[in-house]
Structure 1
Amino acid sequence: MSAADTLRQDIIAVGSYVIVQRQKYRKLYKLPAENGGGNMLALGKERVEMSAIIGKPFWTTFKMIPTNSNKKLTNGKSYRLEEVHAAESLDDLKDLLPSGMDNRKITDDGTSQKLSTQEIMELREAGKSGREIVGSLIENSQTFSAKTKYSQEKYLRKKERKYFLYLTIHKPTIHLLQEIYFQQDHVKIGSLRMDSLAQILSYCDVKSDGLYLLYDSGSQGLAAASLLTRIGAKTSGRLVYLHPGNMAQTTLIRAMNFSNEQINRLSTVNIYSLMRMYYQDAMESKESFGSRDASGDSSKLVDPDSPEAQIQCNDSPNLLKRKHSDATVSSMVPKKKPKWLSETQSAVDLLKSCKVEGLAILAAKEHPLNIVKGLLPFLGTSRPFVIFHAYREPLQEVYVMLKQRCDVMNIRLLSNFLRSYQVLDDRTHPDILMNDVGGYLLVGYLVN
């Protein structure tokens, strides 16, 4: 990839996805396809005009400037963005006054703050920065100097969340997308944690020059986006993404802003359509080979494009019977194949031409046993497979089934528990409010 292409990818373009961060809160946002007014981002009750970020590099910081239309709004405020070099910090404000030893003598009766609500609102309407407002609150507080150092930091963090008017625009990455969705609702991505996702990519041995098969039914395309990222751009790698429904979950694939060249190496196919078409073609090929052996003369085979071959195909019990005369059929204009049918056929041809280098199965709610039985024949010799499920019991049944086969080896059922810690001065401890959902992995190799 040239330097110009890299620079172009680091510029925020119209219609692309971005990640907006304010404090520790992150949100995925898509810019409209046309550059103009109306690019409004909702942050709680606040609305932010996002047109100013177009054409700017990723990781740029912007300040939220109140607009003149705030007086007309009754349910929130409206802001525009202005580029700044760095965001303000409130860390130095805690050193303005000394801290106390404990908070036992502090009484929260609502009279410690000398500034009234009206005076604070006048400071905000006057255009004062968040640092200036919080500094005024500290100077007019009767109890701030008596609080402990920890209480002062907690007070500053609370005020910073309220008066911090800075946004940072990040480029979407797999780690940020997983973190956003996992914090909001981990069920939306199939309870797929970041360390489990990294192990799936590692055990599946994803490289830039192979063909990989993925079945995913509930991660919003997170697993497919991860495999595409690992395969990379302008490579020879291919990915066949199988899904159970009519439409594949591609939300996070689109959010990664992949190039058209990289998207074209992704095939999204319904698993039932692929299996039916694959084995139907194999059965028809077997029947045609058997009929040739029975005749004993290959010269009697007709051209597939000849009228005789068309009649034989139409009279086949596996196809629809003719409902019109030969003259009517010959006069009909051939219809264009649906997009899903052509994609399925191309995926079938791809799987017939070569075996896949790695197989990954992410079953959200369904039992993966029959899925594993159906997809293992597509895997190449001495190639790995990885099966992920949020619960252990379905993988235990798959483990027992695989142990009975003679063509599978090195089967392991893994369980990880990633514990996060809060590391601060004199108070390092595990996070109290954390999610212990991580799922289970079943890995092995096919040796046939």
Structure 2
Amino acid sequence: MSDESAENLIAVGVHVIVKKHNFSKVYKVSENGTLMLGKNQKVEMHEVVGKPFWSTFEMIPKRGPSKNTYSLRLVERTESLNDLSGLKGQLSGQDNRLIVDYGTSQGLSKDEILRLQEAGKSGKEIIGSLIENSTSFAAKTEYSQEKYIRKKERKYMRFLTVCRPTIVSLHEMYFRQYHEKIGGLRMDALAQILCYSDVQADGLHLLYDSGCQGLPAAAMLNRIGENTSGHLINLHPGNVPQTAIVQAMNFPQELRDRHVAVNIYSFLRLHYQGESSMLDNISTSSKKVTDHIVERSVEKLNGETKSDEVSRTDTDISELETDAGENSTLFLRDAEKDADTLKRKLHEFEEAEEAVPVKKPKWFLETQRALDLLNSSKVRGLTVIAKEHPLNIVNALLPFLGASRPFVIFHTYREPLQETFMELKQKRNAINMRLFTNFLRSYQVLPDRTHPDILMSDTGGYILTGYLVQE
């Protein structure tokens, strides 16, 4: 099998997007993994391994004590709305004013519908039975009939499509379901950030992201591409970077190696204070941890001494009168010997630790690597996507930007960018600055029903762009 054909097959360890109607979820493929859809639907996903991307599977209910558990079966095509439209028949009403919902229009009970599902009836057959036993369906307008069928389709048509993750599909999923997790960053704003920051396949790019699940980093890495010379330094405020979307993109290892994620405070501290200061802090922290362990050990040893003496007071009084003095003296001597042995081993450990160099943790090596990249060349683009006020962050990171290179700052609100705009204007080291926002409105285009979407975000945030120059 060629490499190109192997890349088009779903393998263990890759991330996929599972779509069911309008619901999407990221899933990491495993040999015997399961996927939870909603609150109570458990799907066994081992059938997707080895199948091509964009394959469609039908959810088959499993018989047995475990309810709401489904296995998958590969299908060639699904039953679309056009197939279900034949269930409507030719009868339809002129309007719905005379239809009164008493809750008795459906002739099938809930138990009967469940028996149809347990019997293995397809979604089309179940919906057809619901329409046949509905006394109000024929009186509804054609639009209401179509709306009714769509509602039942989402409930009874059990088909999954396994898709390859892309920036667009991941953004659509997060923005529809968890838009606050990506900071309300719309696709049009993300596209303009990539354009204004001049992200290309070569050069060094600097990004600060304070909580967008790795969406800006994934988009920039996707534009840098495989087998290129570009690097991305991703600064973040916490101890662990948010890389959920970066991992979901299934980037090759050589591209992930060119993504350097470091803490911004460690980055600036190592740059201005040097390596010796950081190593001293690391050794001091390790010594504090060792001292804390020894103190806890001694306290535990003393606690065992006291607890043993207390427990011995509950024994027979006559035995304590004869043996208490001698036994307690021997036990305390043993405890003192153990404490002296622990202190002696600690002293030997400290002497050996001085001879062996301090082992550098992984985060320190990543921070050092980022500074090595910056020492070789200035960055060709600075991107700041901050939930906090961006002024101090921009002032700290602008010295790493090359002359005549662009910077892009994104924020949900306008006022922090206005203050940043005025500060950079007063310093006179930035030109061609522009503060703007977009209003992207999508439209529903259907026969006789074309109108703007009602449910949409009113703003996509604000963007401040400019170019850095030398004074």
TM-score tier, shorter chain, comes to 0.7 to 0.9
Please, which of 416, 434, 440 is the counterpart of residue 438 of structure 2?
416
Per the TM alignment, residue 388 of structure 1 is displaced from its structure 2 partner at its CA by: 0.4
Cα distance between partner residues in 2 of 1:167 and 1:200: 34
Per the TM alignment, residue 274 of structure 1 is displaced from its structure 2 partner at its CA by: 1.2
Cα distance between partner residues in 2 of 1:256 and 1:89: 29
The one-letter code sitting in structure 2 at the alignment partner of 1:343 is E
Please, which of 382, 386, 406 is the counterpart of residue 359 of structure 1?
382
* DSSP 3-state at the match of 2:184: coil
The aligned residue for residue 294 of structure 1 is: none
| Structure-to-structure mapping, 1:260-275, within 5 angstroms | 260-275=253-268
Cα distance between partner residues in 2 of 1:269 and 1:150: 55
Cα distance between partner residues in 2 of 1:148 and 1:61: 32
Cα distance between partner residues in 1 of 2:120 and 2:54: 25
The aligned residue for residue 417 of structure 2 is: 395
Please, which of 36, 42, 51 is the counterpart of residue 56 of structure 1?
51
Do the aligned partners of 2:438 and 2:459 also contact (CA within 8 Å) in 1? no
Please, which of 130, 133, 145 is the counterpart of residue 138 of structure 2?
145
The aligned residue for residue 210 of structure 1 is: 203
The aligned residue for residue 22 of structure 2 is: 24
Please, which of 405, 409, 413 is the counterpart of residue 383 of structure 1?
405
Cα distance between partner residues in 1 of 2:183 and 2:100: 47
Cα-to-partner distance string for 1:212-231 (whole Å, 9 max, x where unaligned):
00000110111111110010
Say if 1:264 and 1:93 are closer, same or farther in 2 by CA, change over 3 A. Answer: closer
Cα-to-partner distance string for 1:159-194 (whole Å, 9 max, x where unaligned):
101101100011111112122222223221111111
The aligned residue for residue 89 of structure 1 is: 80
Do the aligned partners of 1:12 and 1:55 also contact (CA within 8 Å) in 2? yes
| Structure-to-structure mapping, 1:77-116, within 5 angstroms | 77-95=68-86, 96-116=89-109
The aligned residue for residue 336 of structure 1 is: 359
The aligned residue for residue 252 of structure 1 is: 245
Please, which of 57, 60, 66 is the counterpart of residue 61 of structure 2?
66
Q: Which moved more, 1:424-433 or 1:200-209?
A: 424-433
Do the aligned partners of 2:34 and 2:42 also contact (CA within 8 Å) in 1? no
**Unpaired stretches in structure 1, ≥5 consecutive residues:** 285-312
Per the TM alignment, residue 330 of structure 1 is displaced from its structure 2 partner at its CA by: 10
Identity %: 58
* DSSP 3-state at the match of 1:68: coil
Say if 1:148 and 1:334 are closer, same or farther in 2 by CA, change over 3 A. Answer: same
Do the aligned partners of 1:368 and 1:395 also contact (CA within 8 Å) in 2? yes
Do the aligned partners of 1:41 and 1:49 also contact (CA within 8 Å) in 2? no
* DSSP 3-state at the match of 2:219: helix
Please, which of 42, 47, 63 is the counterpart of residue 42 of structure 2?
47
Do the aligned partners of 1:206 and 1:230 also contact (CA within 8 Å) in 2? yes
Cα distance between partner residues in 2 of 1:362 and 1:319: 30
Please, which of 384, 392, 405 is the counterpart of residue 370 of structure 1?
392
Cα distance between partner residues in 2 of 1:121 and 1:191: 41
Cα RMSD over matched residues?
2.6
Cα distance between partner residues in 2 of 1:10 and 1:383: 39
Per the TM alignment, residue 318 of structure 1 is displaced from its structure 2 partner at its CA by: 11
* DSSP 3-state at the match of 2:427: coil
Say if 1:214 and 1:331 are closer, same or farther in 2 by CA, change over 3 A. Answer: closer
Please, which of 146, 151, 155 is the counterpart of residue 162 of structure 1?
155
Per the TM alignment, residue 319 of structure 1 is displaced from its structure 2 partner at its CA by: 11
TM-score, length-scaled by structure 1: 0.84
Say if 1:5 and 1:407 are closer, same or farther in 2 by CA, change over 3 A. Answer: farther
The aligned residue for residue 185 of structure 1 is: 178
Do the aligned partners of 2:283 and 2:358 also contact (CA within 8 Å) in 1? no
* DSSP 3-state at the match of 1:158: helix
Cα-to-partner distance string for 1:254-281 (whole Å, 9 max, x where unaligned):
1111111110001011111111212234
Cα distance between partner residues in 2 of 1:330 and 1:111: 81
* DSSP 3-state at the match of 1:223: helix
Say if 1:247 and 1:60 are closer, same or farther in 2 by CA, change over 3 A. Answer: same
Cα-to-partner distance string for 1:42-88 (whole Å, 9 max, x where unaligned):
3332111011111111111000011112xx23xx5110000001111
Say if 1:44 and 1:342 are closer, same or farther in 2 by CA, change over 3 A. Answer: same
Per the TM alignment, residue 120 of structure 1 is displaced from its structure 2 partner at its CA by: 2.4
Per the TM alignment, residue 105 of structure 1 is displaced from its structure 2 partner at its CA by: 2.4
Per the TM alignment, residue 149 of structure 1 is displaced from its structure 2 partner at its CA by: 1.1
Do the aligned partners of 1:391 and 1:439 also contact (CA within 8 Å) in 2? yes
Cα-to-partner distance string for 1:340-398 (whole Å, 9 max, x where unaligned):
1111111111101101111100001x110011111111111211110000110000000
Cα distance between partner residues in 1 of 2:183 and 2:282: 39
Per the TM alignment, residue 433 of structure 1 is displaced from its structure 2 partner at its CA by: 2.2
Say if 1:108 and 1:334 are closer, same or farther in 2 by CA, change over 3 A. Answer: same
| Structure-to-structure mapping, 1:271-282, within 5 angstroms | 271-281=264-274
| Structure-to-structure mapping, 1:231-310, within 5 angstroms | 231-281=224-274
Cα distance between partner residues in 2 of 1:438 and 1:186: 11
Cα distance between partner residues in 1 of 2:389 and 2:58: 49
Say if 1:359 and 1:331 are closer, same or farther in 2 by CA, change over 3 A. Answer: closer
Tell me which structure has the larger Cα radius of gyration: 2
The aligned residue for residue 298 of structure 1 is: none
Cα-to-partner distance string for 1:98-127 (whole Å, 9 max, x where unaligned):
322111222323343333333322222221
* DSSP 3-state at the match of 1:236: coil
Per the TM alignment, residue 329 of structure 1 is displaced from its structure 2 partner at its CA by: 7.7
The aligned residue for residue 433 of structure 1 is: 455
The aligned residue for residue 310 of structure 2 is: none
Per the TM alignment, residue 331 of structure 1 is displaced from its structure 2 partner at its CA by: 7.5
Do the aligned partners of 1:402 and 1:408 also contact (CA within 8 Å) in 2? yes
The one-letter code sitting in structure 1 at the alignment partner of 2:63 is N
Please, which of 177, 187, 200 is the counterpart of residue 194 of structure 1?
187
Size of the aligned set, in residue pairs, is 404
Is 1:446 matched with 2:465? no
Cα distance between partner residues in 1 of 2:281 and 2:168: 48
* DSSP 3-state at the match of 2:267: helix
Do the aligned partners of 1:207 and 1:230 also contact (CA within 8 Å) in 2? yes
